[in-house]
Amino acid sequence: MMRHYLQIKDQYKDCVLFYRLGDFYEMFFDDAKEVSALLDLTLTGRDCGLEERAPMCGIPFHAADTYIARLVALGKKVAICEQLSDPATSKGMVDRDVVRVVSAGTLIEDELLDERSNNFIACAYKSGEECAVAYTDITTGEFCVSSFSGGNCVSEAGENLVKLSPAEIIVNDEFLLAARDCPVLKYNSLPSFSCYVPWAFTVRRAENSLLEQFQTKTLAPFGIAGKDIAISACGALVEYLRETQKHALKNLDGLKYLNGRKTMMLDSIAIKNLELTKTLYEGKKRGSLLWLLDKTQTGMGARLLTNLILNPLNSREEICFRLDGVEELFNATVIRIGIAETLKGIRDIERIAGKISNNNLTPRDCENLALSLAIVPSLKFQLTGFSSPVLMKIVSELHELSEIRDLLKATIVENAPVAVKDGGFIREGYNKDLDEFRRIRDGGAGMIAEMETRERDATGIKNLKIKYNRVFGYMIEVTNSFKDKVPYHYQRRQTIANAERYVTDELKEVEEKILTSEERSIKLELAIFEDVKSALADNISKLKELAQAIAFLDCLVSFAAVSKERNYCKPQIGPLGGPLKIIDGRHPVVEALSKERFVPNDTTMDGKDTSIMIITGPNMAGKSTYMRQTALIVLMAHLGCFVPAKSAEIPVTDRIFTRVGASDNLILDQSTFMVEMTEVASIILNATPDSLLILDEVGRGTSTFDGLSIAWAVLEHLAQKIKAKTLFATHYHELTELEDKIEGVKNYKVTVKEAAGTVIFLRKIMRGGANKSFGIEVAKLAGVPAEVTARAKEILKKLEKNDIARGAAQTEEIAVSEEEPSLSEIEKILSELDLDNLSPMQAFMVLSDLSEKVKR
Ligand code: ADP
């Protein structure tokens, strides 16, 4: 057995091997040492023909799922080696083999999966200047691939991976090597890459894997014929899954080639900064756009919604197609609420379909499927009054599958169990033999009791008993005092202290019936279940289409419900590069979360008169809220959702770029300024006139003059060369001079009111540049003690009066001085300066003052 263990272990070196021995999974040697430490299990030993005992630890087989889940969460892969022959009937060693390798990307157990999000496994492949990313969720059968070429291919593939956030990633060597120098991959947390065998990526091998998987003659139907890079990535992924899952993965029956698919480009920075699926600082769903828009009733809908939000459309037709459906649902409040109620009753048909293919379907799943299918007709009925093409299309895909539904209803009991092996899930009345077996099994006790009374009467032995024993089965027990009354046809079996035990032919017959009927009934149930499963498997593509239609309907209903509840409006979608005009726009999430009344604002950019808005105003005034609100409104329109505004005209936009505040890359060894400039570089290189740019405080990460110059030059470039619609918030008031110098640049300010030494934020955007920072007032509002803010005011006044020398001298009096006494006057002034808080003008004054002093 140990030899066999070692053979198997050799094939699964990168996995923890769970080796089934009776009621336990055992681990040996290094696996045992490692896992006992990780999971806090007792490490024991076992003689195995070697000099020393082999380290060993084990877990009971029925509790394996939780241990596997913990190991997988720790980044381990677990190979499960089962007993394949029945130990009771096999001679010599029991057959054992690995039946499945469980890893983070190949989980199929309901308890280990989040119903509302996908569990993707991805494969990234690089060859020369080309990359491809293939991914799938084996629980749903979604299978897609994208390819990228050119000098940026690795970072584009990286963006794709970040967006997917897969649970597991396999790669080829070349990709792994290139990933080390790719910032996107370095600074986003992804699971570590594992290299897969090179031959799996060779085009011919990969192509064959795919043809075999899809049972087709060519890859043309999937759009990847001749696309070697994509074929390699997909083929290797299928190969890996077959190798680890050990079965044909029937639900991977097709593939989507995503290149050329109509979606807006959204990079990981924009996804993060606009807080599309989680918040920037806490990483929570609450407070994200997804959280706001998610009123889906099903897991399928929730998973699709994340996908829709991360892949906004970029074709006017497709956006309007969705919007018209949302509008109909928006207007029909009563029906919409009814539909949402109906959707609530529908279970995860998509994952049930996945289980049919993965062969881990349970009777409980069948019951859930039957319940869900029973709801489909009423869902269809509720949609009858609608006429928008998108809803009509959904209706046409809501397959009732009545034969399947009837079959499930006829076969599976109510409150069906999750486990198959104990039987008890096939309905009474479906199969005569089964009913008979069960009757005998259940009637067994009665039959024995009845025989006992009959034998007592016939023999006159008053204390005659029929007993059951595991070794000898049913026996008639007669105490020694009645031995002489035992009839001839009793056959003696066993003698015990004060009694004898007998059997009769009749008893043997009954015993046979009772014992085998249980076994037979379970066997028959399993056979019936197999038939049910194969009927389901024949309908897998219909089931998947039904699941997708329900998921999509769920999302549209969710859009409509949020839009109605929050009083959103239907946006007019303009052509690529057309004018942007939002009247009374609001930030959807700030509005939903804040107790303050949200002050709406307009955004008007026609791309000619105004293509760049320079936005100034004190901190906390609402600049970044305003910019994000514009970006979110544009994005929501591209989802086909209504938007938080009184009215909105939104042009089709190819990409939204953001550069907002310090990002959390800071922790990962890059300076704030470096991060900022990398993001600025990417914007300058990739933005087009049809993009929307959100730039917050560009240049803040460096010294004042540097920062101002960079911000100035970037603005000039954006306005003159790129001409993309840009919102540019800045604390450099000097930039407002650009309005008169460059066409298309307009100044805006977020208004505040000054009253009694404090500021009141009015939150209204108006034309014009702000002329004061109100930094000290804001500091006061933030709780900086009056002592300090008062002193700051004094210093400010002096600075403004160009009275630097005295200001510095006085500061010295108050500050606890740590200076060397030998400093010159100029050195003293310089050491007192707080460059970060000087405006360029003030800095210039300091400089001219110093220069004067030197000259004097
Ligand atoms: P800035 O970028 O100018 O420093 P923010 O955009 O971060 O300011 O806004 C600060 C706070 O003001 C936000 O957290 C939000 O709660 C509130 N706020 C911003 N804009 C509005 C608005 N239009 N109506 C109501 N509250 C707002």
Q: How far apart are CA 518 and CA 434, in angstroms?
A: 10
Phi, psi of 651 (to 5 degrees): -80, 150
- pLDDT score, position 853: 80
407 and 423 together in one domain:
yes
The reply to whether 617 sits in an annotated binding site is yes
Whether residue 470 sits in one domain with residue 381: no
Is residue 399 pLDDT above 50, yes or no? Answer: yes
- pLDDT at residue 50, rounded to an integer: 67
Instruction: Inform me whether the pLDDT recorded for 220 exceeds 80.
Output: yes
Q: Which two tokens stand for residue 777?
A: 């007032």
- As beta bridge partners, residue 694 has 658, 727
CA of 762 to the centre of ligand 1 (A): 10
pLDDT tens, position by position, 327-384: 999 999 999 999 999 999 999 999 999 999 888 899 999 999 999 999 999 999 999 9
pLDDT above 80 for 197: yes
The set of residues, in sequence order, having a beta carbon less than 8 Å from that of 381 and lying 6+ positions away, is none
Conformation bin of residue 5: beta by default, left when phi > 0, alpha when psi is -120 to 50 = alpha
Encode 595-616 in three state secondary structure.
CCCCCCEEEEECCCCCCEEEEE
- Decide which of 9 and 801 is more confident: 9
Smallest Cα–Cα separation from 764: which of 649, 621, 631, 642?
621
Tell whether 781 is covered by a domain.
no
Given the CA of residue 619, which atom of ligand 1 is nearest to it?
Answer: 4
Establish whether 624 is an annotated binding residue.
yes
CA distance 15 to 7: 14
**Residue whose structure tokens are 């009354």:** 485
**Lowest model confidence (mean pLDDT) among 42-46, 170-174, 770-774:** 770-774
Sheet holding 465-469, edge to edge: 465-469, 473-479, 499-503, 491-496
The confidence band for 260, taking pLDDT boundaries of 50, 70 and 90, is low
**Annotated binding residue at 622?**
yes
The pLDDT assigned to 261 comes to 66
C-alpha 624 to ligand 1 mean position (Å) = 7
Q: Which residue, 257, 273, 308, sits at the end of a domain?
A: 257
| Residue 621 assigned to a binding site | yes
Percent of the chain exceeding pLDDT 70 equals 95
Please tell me the distance between residue 662's alpha carbon and the centre of ligand 1 in angstroms: 17
- Higher pLDDT, residue 422 or 571: 571
- Give the integer Cα–Cα distance in Å for 362 and 354: 12
Alpha carbon nearest to ligand 1 atom 18, residue:
622
Q: Which atom of ligand 1 is nearest to the CA of 750?
A: 3
Of the pLDDT bands very low, low, confident and very high (cuts 50, 70, 90), residue 513 is confident
Instruction: Give residue 262 CA to ligand 1 midpoint distance, Å.
Output: 34
Q: Which atom from ligand 1 is nearest to the alpha carbon of 627?
A: 6
Backbone angles phi, psi at 615, to 5 degrees: -115, 120
CATH code for the domain in which residue 154 is found: 3.30.420.110
Task: Assess contact for 394 and 374: CB atoms under 8 A.
Answer: no
Closest residue by Cα to atom 5, ligand 1, is 622
Q: Is 141 annotated as a binding residue?
A: no
Distance between CA atoms of residues 148 and 156, nearest Å: 7
Confidence of residue 748 (pLDDT cuts 50, 70, 90): very high
Interval between CA 594 and ligand 1 midpoint (Å): 10
CA distances from 752 to 471, 696, 761, 781 (A): 92, 19, 5, 14
Range of the structural domain that residue 174 is part of: 115-257
**Residue 54 — very low, low, confident or very high, per pLDDT cuts 50/70/90?**
confident
Q: What is the per-residue pLDDT for 670?
A: 58
For residues 636 and 696, membership in a common domain is answered with yes
> Helix, strand, or coil here: 18?
strand
My answer on whether 212 and 224 are in the same domain is yes
For the sheet containing 44-46, what is the strand order? Answer: 44-46, 54-60, 24-28, 16-21, 78-83, 96-102
Q: Is the pLDDT of residue 705 over 60?
A: yes
Q: How far apart are the first and last CA of the chain?
A: 96
SS (H, E, C) 295-332: CCCCHHHHHHHHHHHHCCECCHHHHHHHHHHHHHHHHC
Look at 47 and 68; give whichever has higher pLDDT.
68
For 301-313, write each residue's pLDDT tens digit: 999 999 999 999 9
Same domain, 72 and 218: no
Taking the CB of residue 92, how many other CB atoms lie within 10 A of it? 6
Whether residue 311 is contained in a domain is answered as no
User: Could you identify the atom of ligand 1 that is nearest to the CA of residue 617?
Assistant: 3
Question: Helix 505-538 vs helix 432-459: angle between axes, to the nearest 10 degrees?
Answer: 170
Sign of the Cα torsion 357, 359, 365, 367 reads positive
Q: What is the DSSP string of 250-303?
A: TT----EE-TT--B-B--HHHHHHTTSSS-TTT--STTSHHHHH---SSHHHHH
Give the Å distance between the CA of 216 and the centre of ligand 1: 57
**In whole angstroms, what is the distance from residue 535 CA to residue 90 CA?**
33
What was the pLDDT predicted at 400?
Answer: 95
Domain for residue 141, yes or no? yes
User: Does 244 share its domain with 328?
Assistant: no
Is the pLDDT at 412 greater than 60, yes or no?
yes
Segment 128-152 shows an average pLDDT of: 93
Residue 396 has pLDDT above 70, yes or no: yes
With a cut of 70, say whether residue 719 has pLDDT above it: yes
**Lowest-confidence region among 175-184, 466-475, 634-643:** 466-475
- Classify residue 60: in a domain, yes or no: yes
Query: Does the annotation place 744 within a ligand binding site?
Result: no
How far, in Å, from the CA of 4 to the mean position of ligand 1? 67
**What residue owns the CA closest to ligand 1's atom 6?**
622
Domain end among 73, 102, 131 = 102
Encoded tokens for 557: 């209903």
How far is the centre of ligand 1, averaged over its atoms, from the C-alpha of 283 (Å)?
Answer: 20
- Nearest residue (CA) to ligand 1, atom 19: 622
Residues 97 and 142 in one domain: no
515 and 549, same structural domain?
A: no
Domain membership of residue 153 (yes or no) is yes
Q: Is the pLDDT of residue 834 over 90?
A: no
288 vs 276: CA distance, rounded Å: 5
Would 509 be classed as within a structural domain? yes
Task: Provide mean pLDDT across the span 621-646.
Answer: 96
Ramachandran angles phi, psi of 278, nearest 5°: -150, 160
pLDDT at 476: 94
CA 597 to ligand 1: nearest atom: 25
The pLDDT tens digits of the residues spanning 559-617 come to 999 999 999 999 999 999 899 999 999 999 999 999 889 999 999 998 778 899 999 98
Residues 523 and 551 in one domain: no
| Probe residue for ligand 1, chosen from 590, 601, 772 as the CB with the greatest number of ligand atoms within 8 Å | 590
Quick one: 107 exposed, middle or buried, by C-beta within 10 A (0-12, 13-18, 19+)?
A: buried
- Looking at the fold, whether 27 and 97 belong to one and the same domain comes out as yes
Domain boundary residue, one of 734, 751, 770: 770
* Nearest residue by C-alpha to atom 12 in ligand 1: 622
- pLDDT recorded at residue 848: 84
Nearest C-alpha to atom 9 of ligand 1 is from which residue? Answer: 622
If pLDDT is split at 50, 70 and 90, which confidence band does 661 have?
low
360 alpha carbon, distance to own chain's centre: 22
Count of all residues that appear for the chain in the document:
856
CB atoms within 10 A of CB 376: 21
Task: Report the pLDDT averaged over residues 680-706.
Answer: 85
Which residue among 591, 625, 752 is best mutated to probe the pocket of ligand 1, counting the most ligand atoms within 8 A of its Cβ? 625
Q: What pLDDT score was predicted for residue 517?
A: 87
Contacts of 331 (CB under 8 A, 6+ apart): none
Closest to 238 (Cα-Cα) out of 205, 213, 203: 213
* CA-proximal residue: ligand 1, atom 17 (nearest): 622
Determine which of 126-140, 530-544, 651-665 has the lowest per-residue pLDDT on average: 651-665
With the most atoms of ligand 1 within 8 angstroms of its CB, the residue from 593, 616, 620, 760 to mutate is 620
Q: What's the confidence (pLDDT) of residue 268?
A: 86
- 238, burial (CB in 10 Å: exposed 0-12, middle 13-18, buried 19+): buried
Mean pLDDT lowest among 89-93, 155-159, 171-175? 89-93
Task: Note the pLDDT of residue 805.
Answer: 45
Cα of 729 to ligand 1 centre, how many Å? 13
352 is written with which tokens? 């049930």
Instruction: Tell me the mean pLDDT in the region 11-32.
Output: 92
DSSP 57-98: EEEEGGGHHHHHHHHHHTT--EEEEEE-S-TTT--SSPPEEE
Mean pLDDT computed over 780-808: 69
Q: Report how many domains make up the chain.
A: 6
The confidence score (pLDDT) of residue 855 equals 80
Strand partners of residue 662: none
pLDDT for the residue numbered 596: 87
Higher pLDDT, 133 or 422: 133
User: Residue 501 above 70 pLDDT?
Assistant: yes
Q: What spacing in Å lies between the alpha carbon of 62 and ligand 1's midpoint?
A: 54
Residues 546 and 626 in one domain: no
Is pLDDT above 60 for 648? yes
Does the pLDDT at position 669 exceed 70?
Answer: no
User: In terms of Cα–Cα distance, which of 371, 382, 323 is closest to 349?
Assistant: 371
* d(CA 587, ligand 1 centre) in Å: 9
Residue 304 lies in a domain: no
CATH number of the domain where residue 509 is located: 1.10.1420.10
**Structure token pair of residue 491:** 């056959």
CATH of residue 576's domain is: 3.40.50.300
Q: Ligand 1 — pocket residues by CB below 6 A?
A: 590, 594, 596, 598-599, 617, 619-625, 763
Per-residue pLDDT for 809 more than 60? Answer: no
- Quote the mean pLDDT of the chain: 88
Q: Does 732 reside within a domain?
A: yes
391, 626, 764, 782, 812 from 598: Cα distances, Å: 34, 11, 10, 20, 45
β-bridge pairing 142-149 and 256-257: parallel
- On whether both 414 and 345 belong to a single domain, the answer is no
CA distance 664 to 666: 5
Instruction: Tell me the pLDDT band of 710, cut-offs 50, 70 and 90.
Output: confident
